[in-house]
Amino acid sequence: MTYRRRLGSLVIIDSIIVLTTIYLCYFTLHPYFAVFTETALIVSSITLLASHHIFAYIYRLYKRAWEYASIGELISIGKSVTFSIITLAIVQDIVIGNVYVRVLMLTWMMHILFIGGSRFSWRIFRDSIIKDTTIKKRTLIVGAGAAGTMVARQLLHNHEVDLLPVAFVDDDIKKQRLQILDIPVLGGVDTIEKVVKEEKIDNIVIAIPSLSRKELNDIFQECSKTKAKTQIMPMIEDILVGKVSVNSFRDVQVEDLLGREPVQLDIESISDNLTGRTILVTGAGGSIGSEICRQVCKFNPKTIVLFGHGENSIYLIDMELRGRYGKKVEIVPVIGDVQDRSRVFEVVETYKPALIYHAAAHKHVPLMEYNPHEAVKNNVIGTKNVAEAADTFGIDTFVLVSSDKAVNPTNVMGATKRVAEMVVQGLSSHSNTKFVAVRFGNVLGSRGSVIPLFKKQIEQGGPVTVTDPEMTRYFMTIPEASRLVIQAGSLARGGEIFVLDMGEPVKIVDLARNLISLSGYTEDDIEIKYTGIRPGEKMFEELLNEDEIHPKKVFEKIYIGKTNGVDIQVVNEIIEKFMELSSVELRDTLLKAASKHNIVEKSEANGIL
d(CA 106, CA 143): 45
Residue 531: per-residue pLDDT: 85
pLDDT digits (tens, 9 = 90+) for 366-379: 888 889 999 999 99
**What's the per-residue H, E or C state across 252-305?**
CCHHHHCCCCCCCCCHHHHHHHHCCCEEEEECCCCHHHHHHHHHHHCCCCCEEE
pLDDT in tens, 515-551: 787 776 777 778 888 888 776 666 766 555 555 555 5
Beta carbons of 165 and 138 less than 8 angstroms apart: no
Do 116 and 143 share a domain, yes or no?
no
pLDDT of 152 reads 86
Report the pLDDT value the prediction gives residue 387, as an integer from 0 to 100. Answer: 95
Give the pLDDT of residue 164. 86
459 neighbors 491 (Cβ within 8 angstroms): no
Please tell me which residue, 240 or 335, carries the higher pLDDT value.
335
Identify the pLDDT of residue 246. 47
Using the predicted structure, report yes or no on whether residue 212 has a pLDDT greater than 80: no
What does the pLDDT look like over 183-204, one tens digit per residue?
Answer: 899 989 999 999 999 999 988 8
- Among 50-59, 278-287, 508-517, 597-606, the least confident range: 597-606
CB 396 within 8 A of CB 433: yes
Cβ-contact 530, 470 below 8 angstroms: no
- Alpha carbons 168 and 355: distance in angstroms, whole number: 52
Q: What one-letter code names the amino acid at 305?
A: V
Q: Are residues 603 and 566 in the same domain?
A: yes
Q: For the packed helices 412-428 and 382-392, what is the interaxial angle rounded to 10 degrees?
A: 10
Continuous H helices in 298-364:
311-325, 341-351
Tally of domains in the chain:
3
Count other C-beta atoms under 10 Å from residue 246's C-beta.
Answer: 18
Q: Which residue has the higher pLDDT, 555 or 413?
A: 413
- Does residue 419 sit in the same domain as residue 556? yes
Where is pLDDT greater, at 537 or 599? 537
Average pLDDT score over residue span 14-37: 74
pLDDT tens profile 112-156: 888 777 776 766 665 555 544 457 788 999 988 888 888 888 888
Give domain status of residue 270, yes or no.
no
SS3 567: coil
List, in order, residues 6 or more apart from 108 with CB less than 8 Å away.
81, 82, 85
Angle CA 315–320–321, to nearest 5: 100
Has residue 512 been placed in a domain?
A: no
Higher pLDDT, 140 or 578: 140
Q: Are residues 294 and 310 in the same domain?
A: yes
Q: Is the pLDDT of residue 559 over 60?
A: yes
Query: Residue type at 245?
Result: S
Q: Pairing mode, if any, of strands 229-232 and 250-251?
A: antiparallel
pLDDT band at 563 (very low <50, low <70, confident <90, very high): low
Q: Which carries the bigger pLDDT value, residue 584 or residue 392? A: 392
Greater confidence (293 vs 410) lies with 293
Of the three residues 93, 111, 128, the one that is the final residue of a domain is 128
Residues 100 and 166 in one domain: no
Task: Just list the catalytic residues.
Answer: 405
- Structural domain includes residue 519: no
Q: Do residues 98 and 143 share a domain?
A: no
Question: For a pLDDT cut of 90, what percent of the chain falls above it?
Answer: 21
The answer to whether residue 525 sits within a structural domain is: no
- 276-288 as b/e, with b when 16 or more CB fall inside 10 Å? ebbbbbbbbbbbb
The verdict on 119 and 141 lying in the same domain is no
- Distance between CA atoms of residues 349 and 392, nearest Å: 9
Residue 508 placed within a domain: no
Final residue of a structural domain among 128, 154, 172: 128
590 torsion bin: left (phi>0), alpha (psi -120 to 50), beta (else): alpha
Task: Produce one character per residue of 334-349: b if its CB has 16 or more CB atoms within 10 Å, e if not.
Answer: bebbbbebebbbebbe
- DSSP class of residue 185 equals B
Cα–Cα dist 29/499, whole Å: 86
Model pLDDT, residue 244: 46
The Cα-based distances of 388 to 54, 141, 337, 345, 512 in angstroms read 79, 58, 15, 9, 42
The model's pTM is 0.63
Integer CA distances (angstroms), 484 to 74, 113, 302, 454, 597, in order: 53, 63, 21, 26, 23
Listed residue (604, 591, 606) closest to 376, CA to CA: 591
- What single letter denotes the amino acid at residue 418? R
pLDDT value, residue 602? 40
Question: 382 and 434 in one domain?
Answer: yes
Cα distance between residue 466 and residue 510, in whole Å: 10
> Assign residue 466 a region: left if phi > 0, alpha if psi is -120 to 50, beta otherwise?
beta
Q: CB-based contacts of 325: which residues, under 8 Å, 6+ apart? A: 297, 331
For residues 280 and 241, state if they share a domain.
Answer: no
Q: What is the DSSP string of 33-46?
A: H----HHHHHHHHH
| Domain-terminating residue out of 128, 161, 180 | 128
Residues 39 and 83 in one domain: yes
User: Given this model, what pLDDT does residue 379 score?
Assistant: 94
Give me the pLDDT at residue 240, please: 46
Q: Is residue 33 part of a domain?
A: yes
Quick one: pLDDT at residue 312? Answer: 93
43-70 pLDDT per residue, tens: 888 888 888 888 888 887 777 665 555 6
Mean pLDDT of 552-561: 64
Least confident range from 14-28, 505-519, 551-565: namely 551-565
Calculate mean pLDDT across residues 508-512.
82
* Res 604: pLDDT: 47
Residue 107: which domain range?
3-128
Report the share of the chain in percent with pLDDT over 70.
Answer: 78
Examine residue 9 and state whether it is found in any structural domain, yes or no. yes
Residues 109 and 196 in one domain: no
Question: Which of the residue ranges 55-59, 230-234, 392-396 would you say has the lowest mean pLDDT?
Answer: 230-234
Does residue 417 share a domain with residue 396? yes
What is the C-alpha separation between 266 and 581, in angstroms, rounded?
45
Counting beta carbons within 10 angstroms of the beta carbon of residue 576, is it exposed (0 to 12), middle (13 to 18) or buried (19 or more)? exposed
Please compute the mean of the pLDDT values over residues 438-452 and round it to a whole number: 69
Asked if residue 345 has pLDDT above 80, the reply is yes
CATH of the domain at 407: 3.40.50.720
Q: What average pLDDT does this structure show over 156-170?
A: 82
Residue 253 has pLDDT above 80, yes or no: no
Can you give the pLDDT at residue 136? 79
Q: Report if residue 395 sits inside a domain.
A: yes
- Name, of 69-83, 135-149, 193-207, 337-351, the range with top average pLDDT: 337-351
Count Cβ neighbours within 10 Å for each residue of 412-427 and write b for 16 or more, e otherwise: bbbbbbbbbbbbbbbb
- What whole-number distance in Å separates Cα of residue 103 and Cα of residue 101? 5
